[in-house]
Chain A
Amino acid sequence: MSHYQELLFLTLQGIRRKVLVSAAGFISSSHPAYLDLEPSRNIDLELLTEAERADTALPLLCLRCRISHPLEAWLKATFRAHHENHGIELKAMASYALDDQGALTIRSSKESTEDFTHSVINSLPKGPASPFTAEILRSFNPALCGLPHWARLKIQSNNELKAYFKQHGLLLISDWALLRNSSPRRVQQACQAHLSSSSTIESLIALHSRFLPLYDLAKQEFKATTGKSSGWQPGLEFLDQLEPAQDPFDTKERLLAIAKAIRQLLTGSANQSLDQSLEAGNEPVAPFSTDEDGPEPAELKVFIDAALKRAMDNLMPAEMQKEAIKFSKDEGRKLAFELYGQGLSHQDIAQQVNHQKPWVSRLLKEKRRSSEIAIAAAIELKRQPEFISCGKSVEAAERLVNALRNHLVEPELEGDIPPLRQWMQQYMSQP
């Protein structure tokens, strides 16, 4: 029964676990029966009641230990799923959640510390309390959900962690936003595949469909009163309105279970789906082939190359001037552009500049830049009789732009350096 006496916390060496003597002593002396039991909602509630009633630090200390376990599990699962592709660091993530060192006192203002008790954490000023366990415990309402769930919901809405993920190309999505943005079809698929519950799938879908309009209203109200878009949590009133005849605790648990099932459904597809939809329609097409009789491909190639060169010369210097301002922030930035010009793959560039591949992709913005160049060149080419159909037909316009973009970034023969990279090489070699 170590969860109430063992704290997981961040040190300079990483996440460490230690048994807190004072917590262990409190359990042995005041609650010896807990030693043989698994952590549970009942024990959480007993300790919470004791913390409120006696207003002493030790019952809360045991709950702080308890919370650190689901927080650590969440951090590690998220780290495991994304560190390879997005370069997130476990220590950095833990600094937002596992910052509780197990002290029996808490800083209540700049100058003073007080005992880490229920009354003290509830009297802390508005805004995120530190350590994070204090924020979780002071906002916890046991009528709405279990403590581990609450810890997870709070970490999901931690603004600093959100900003950290965003820097690394990841979006932290709350359960409520995820539920709001899922169709009944997705809810059904998720529940069928990933949820074993005493509720029927039909009743879960019905619960979800009632949730949607109420969420929209509640979110609107929350935004109007707080000025914030994130951080909304359903309160008692909301849950009562959603399922008047049900225990609000059960209602929230069912909503969270649906959200978890949706997350599991998305696990297999989210990494690709949005990117794939953006990538769609980029199938390689040779830009030098036209259906009609007209100039020879070699002649067309001269037109096309000239149009692309003019478009690059017109668009890229301003882009690179903006990038150059940031070269001093990270030496890897300049090197990445140089290596790109030499023809290295994004993966190889990432290795040489000690970043992850997504960082390189976001820096080079190859797709956006090649699209802009291709469109600019296509606008010029449209004036030629061979390309006049591009102004009249969706297919012809897209075919031409895709082909030009493909020509810009894909080598025609193995070992060739495509035009955009050649341009970059020339630009980066200028003094």
Chain B
Amino acid sequence: MDAAIHEPTMTEPLEPLEVLPMPLGAVELPEGLQWNSQRSLAIAALKEVLASQKAPLPLGPNTGAEQEGRLLSLNRFALQLITAGVAADQVSVDKAAWMGESSAPQLLLAAQVDEENDVVVFSGVLTGSEFISLARKAKTSGENILVDTNEFKGGVERLLTLVQLLEPAALPRFALDTAVANVQRKVVKIADWINGQLDEVFSQLYGAQLQPLSDGAFRTSVASRFENAANQNALALVSIPLGLANGKLVIGLEAEACIERFVLQMLATGSNPSNPDGLMLQLSAAIDGDLLPNDLCISASQGKHNQQQIVENKNKIEFNFSGGLELINVSLGFPGSSDLVLPPLQLRG
């Protein structure tokens, strides 16, 4: 008689999980070696992953890579490696590496290490701008920023994709605290949009997307979305996705995952196709006809000309600016969130 295996019923308390399923892609290191730290296991696992690649990818430094806090260089990209236990729900990121723009990492790789089983799981990668965006709202513990492990996406495959496909300049370095301040001080020239150029930092930190309007029919169709653009010549459109996540105003990629989404569109207009002389701002719900969240506030000013509206049962708010040499300042606010301030926009000059 074999001792019967009792099947639990729905009313019984959950049995504690004693073992974790090993994730696909986990790197199993040889047993019996003595590893000094989680980091030394993670470095060994990273080397093993790189060794399995057909084309060798240079990893540096050659000596001292195991030293805690030291930045790595992978195929010319500055990489910060952070480690935690395999069952960890949060990782600590040392702020020190992010204090200077010239030395900040371009990529942040999270390795979850099981020292008891010599197993390493690369949970994923954050780019510098993704990290800065998370760090702005993350909790801190001393000199560390706490990031949820599930914020790291794509496993080691994402790392291999980014370091092999991107040019290093495509991943700018951002310093903590100063990244947003810098971009907010930097003037964005609207005339550049017409030439298909959008400031990289503006694009990465705010998720701004540019649509050059080269085709006449397309121009007309875009202009028709704006109430006051009927007689204007639309030249370029920049959109910033916005959303509310847990009652907080969010932008860019983060906004795209929100249920309540809206968009700030900025339409450059002008009779001279190479020199815009007007800017239309439109805040509208992401879904046509949907209402904007009440109490959302948009302010825009150019010199002494100030415009501000607070949403109350509206599906659209529009502001117009024409001419003027002064910079246009735009900000959005929502109760309980910090204000979202755009970099100053320069219409002429």
The reply on A230 being an interface residue by CB < 8 A is yes
- For A173, list chain B residues within 8 Å (CB): 18-20, 86-87, 114, 116
A382 to B170, CA, bound (A): 14
Q: A163-B31, A230-B115, A277-B152 are in contact. Are A183 and B19 (CB under 8 A)?
A: no
Chain B 147-179 near chain A by CB (<8 Å), digits 1 or 0: 001101111011011101111001100000000
Determine if A171 and B161 form an interchain contact, defined as CB atoms under 8 angstroms apart: no
A interface residues, how many (CB within 8 angstroms): 82
Count of B interface residues, CB-CB < 8 Å: 64
Assess the A278–B87 pair: CB atoms within 8 A.
no
Contact partners of A393 in chain B: CB under 8 A:
170
Q: Which of B15, B127, B165 contacts A77 (CB 8 A)?
A: B15
B interface secondary structure, majority = loop
Q: Does A274 interact with chain B (Cβ within 8 Å)?
A: yes
A97 at the interface (CB under 8 A from B): no
- Which one of B22, B89, B121, B166 contacts A397 once the chains associate, using CB atoms below 8 Å? B166
Q: Which residues of B contact A186 (CB under 8 A)?
A: 89-90
- With an 8 A cutoff between CB atoms, is A79 at the interface? yes
Q: Is the CB of B6 within 8 A of A227?
A: no
Whole-angstrom distance between the Cβ of A273 and the nearest chain B Cβ = 7
Closest to A189 in B: B89
B16 pairs with A277, CB closer than 8 A: no
The verdict on B105 contacting chain A, using a C-beta distance below 8 Å, is no
B170 and A268 form a contact (CB under 8 A):
no
- Rounded to whole Å, the gap between the CB of B202 and the closest CB of chain A is 14
Interface membership of B117, Cβ < 8 A: yes
Q: Does B217 contact A (CB under 8 A)?
A: no
Q: Is the CB of A277 within 8 A of B22?
A: no
Q: Is the CB of B5 within 8 A of A263?
A: no
Q: Which residue of B lies closest to A161 (CB)?
A: B19
Chain A residues with CB under 8 A of B121: 274, 278
Most buried by B among A72, A156, A172, A271: A172
Contact A263 B150 (CB under 8 A): no
Q: Are B20 and A171 in contact (CB under 8 A)?
A: yes
Contact A177 B21 (CB under 8 A): no
CB-based nearest A residue for B121 = A274
A55-93 residues at the B interface, CB under 8 angstroms: 72, 74, 76-82, 85-86, 90
1/0 per residue A81-118: CB within 8 Å of B? 11001100010000000000000000000000000000
A391 touching B166 by the CB < 8 A rule?
yes
Contacts of B127 in A (CB 8 A): 394
Known: A280-B153, A392-B170. A263 touches B17 (CB 8 A): yes
Interface string of B79-94 (1 = CB under 8 A from A): 0000011111110000
* Interface-centre pick from A264, A268, A371 (highest chain B CB count, 10 A): A371
Decide: A268 and B14 in contact? CB cutoff 8 A: yes
Q: Which 7 pairs from chain A and chain B are nearest by CB?
A: A181-B85, A263-B16, A230-B116, A274-B23, A181-B88, A14-B2, A278-B155
Given A76-B6, A183-B146, A278-B154, list of 12 further CB < 8 A pairs?
Answer: A77-B16, A162-B117, A170-B21, A173-B19, A177-B114, A182-B89, A229-B118, A230-B115, A230-B116, A274-B86, A277-B23, A361-B24
Using CB atoms and an 8 Å cutoff, list the residues of chain B in contact with chain A: 1-3, 5-8, 13-25, 28, 31, 34-36, 53-55, 84-90, 112, 114-119, 121, 123-124, 127, 146, 149-150, 152-155, 157-158, 160-162, 164-167, 170-171
A-B contact pairs, 27 of them (CB 8 A): A8-B3, A16-B1, A72-B3, A76-B3, A80-B6, A90-B5, A166-B117, A180-B85, A183-B90, A186-B89, A229-B35, A229-B118, A230-B116, A230-B117, A263-B16, A263-B17, A267-B17, A270-B87, A274-B20, A274-B123, A275-B21, A277-B123, A278-B25, A278-B121, A315-B54, A392-B166, A401-B165
Residues of A in contact with B (beta carbons under 8 Å apart): 8, 13-17, 72, 74, 76-82, 85-86, 90, 156-157, 162-163, 165-166, 169-174, 177-178, 180-183, 185-186, 194, 223, 227, 229-230, 260, 263-264, 266-268, 270-271, 273-275, 277-278, 280-281, 314-315, 318, 358, 361-362, 367-368, 371-372, 375-376, 378-379, 382, 390-394, 397-398, 400-401
